[in-house]
């Protein structure tokens, strides 16, 4: 075995043909700077054309290639092959999602959850001629949550999101927070209505699995905790009157 050869074990599963997922081993020649995604391409192009996986930007922006790499949810395009400790690299799809084939999962549930929190900006009237003006200071609260690339890692490792399919999950709640603290948004009350439920913020029990999983080092738990406080304060003090 060559010194720079790496063993990659991929969890294969084709729902149409297989009854159970199984592991298949590939050997890839490691090159300097090779990412796990590069290695997957190497396999796809030269060894096994039937391997299925998702990718798009190859630069950690789109969140398509999130998968479980040696036991931890990571982005394949941002993980160096040499950075994985151990003899072999284990690749499996994000847990608790329906597998379409091999490493590609069905994100329907993930996006259904996301849609529930209205993941878009609802502007204030009167609408401005051009863009909404926001000062650098007003922008600070959304600096971090805006970095979410919706790769689905956090929601797929959240044990509450597995068991309760109605739970919004960390990704959707982080998105909700991102618009809740945005000064340009005009429907904070409606957003709080959506998350104020036992399948909303109250299902979170601060396990911090989402924080461990996030490849962008964001903190969905903190966003959820802050929203809990906002919901509770509103409950205690009553709704703000509309101006």
- Which residues bind to other proteins, rule: CB under 8 A? 11, 13, 15, 19-21, 68, 71-73, 92, 95-96, 99, 108-109, 112, 157-160, 162-166, 196-200, 202-203, 205-209, 211-213, 219, 221-222, 225-226, 228-229, 231-232, 235
Burial 56-85 (b: 16+ CB within 10 A, else e): eebebebbbbbbbbbeebbbbbbbebeebe
β pairing state of 5-12 and 88-92: parallel
Q: In the complex with other proteins, which residue's Cβ is closer, 34 or 153?
A: 153
Min. distance of Cβ 8 from other proteins in angstroms? Answer: 16
Q: In the complex with other proteins, which residue's Cβ is closer, 65 or 213?
A: 213
Q: In the complex with other proteins, which residue's Cβ is closer, 58 or 196?
A: 196
Contact between residue 107 and residue 152 where contact means Cβ atoms under 8 Å apart: yes
Q: In the complex with other proteins, which residue's Cβ is closer, 40 or 94?
A: 94
Distance CA 38, CA 173 (A): 32
Min. distance of Cβ 178 from other proteins in angstroms? Answer: 17
Min. distance of Cβ 162 from other proteins in angstroms? Answer: 8
Q: In the complex with other proteins, which residue's Cβ is closer, 39 or 213?
A: 213
Contact between residue 99 and residue 109 where contact means Cβ atoms under 8 Å apart: no
Min. distance of Cβ 11 from other proteins in angstroms? Answer: 7
Q: In the complex with other proteins, which residue's Cβ is closer, 55 or 208?
A: 208
Burial of 161 (0-12, 13-18, 19+ CB in 10 A): buried
Min. distance of Cβ 222 from other proteins in angstroms? Answer: 4
Distance CA 122, CA 119 (A): 9
Per-residue tokens: 217: 């080092």
Under 8 Å CB-to-CB from 107, ≥6 apart: which residues?
A: 97, 152
> Quick check: helix, strand or coil at residue 157?
helix
Per-residue tokens: 131: 């863009």
Min. distance of Cβ 12 from other proteins in angstroms? Answer: 12
């Amino acid at each position: 075995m060559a010194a720079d050869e790496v063993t990659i074990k991929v969890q294969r599963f084709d729902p149409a043909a297989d009854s159970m997922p199984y592991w298949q081993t590939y050997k890839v020649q490691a090159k300097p700077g090779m990412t796990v995604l590069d290695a997957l391409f190497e396999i796809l192009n030269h060894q096994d054309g039937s391997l299925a996986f998702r990718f798009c930007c190859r630069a950690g922006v789109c969140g398509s290639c999130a998968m479980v790499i040696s036991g931890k949810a990571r982005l394949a395009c941002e993980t160096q092959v040499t950075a994985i400790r151990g003899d072999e690299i284990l690749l499996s799809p994000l847990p608790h999602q329906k597998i379409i084939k091999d490493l590609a999962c069905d994100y329907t549930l993930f996006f259904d959850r996301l849609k529930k929190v209205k993941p878009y900006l609802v502007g204030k009237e009167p609408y401005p001629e051009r863009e909404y003006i926001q000062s650098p200071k007003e922008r600070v609260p959304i600096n971090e949550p805006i970095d979410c690339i919706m790769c689905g890692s956090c929601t797929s490792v959240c044990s509450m999101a597995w068991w309760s399919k109605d739970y919004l999950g960390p990704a959707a709640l982080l998105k909700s927070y991102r618009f809740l603290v945005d000064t340009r948004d005009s429907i904070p009350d409606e957003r709080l209505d959506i998350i104020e439920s036992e399948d909303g913020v109250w299902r979170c029990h601060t396990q911090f699995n989402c924080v461990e999983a996030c490849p962008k080092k964001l903190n969905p738990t903190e966003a959820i905790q802050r929203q809990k406080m906002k919901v509770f304060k509103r409950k205690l003090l009553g709704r703000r009157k509309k101006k």
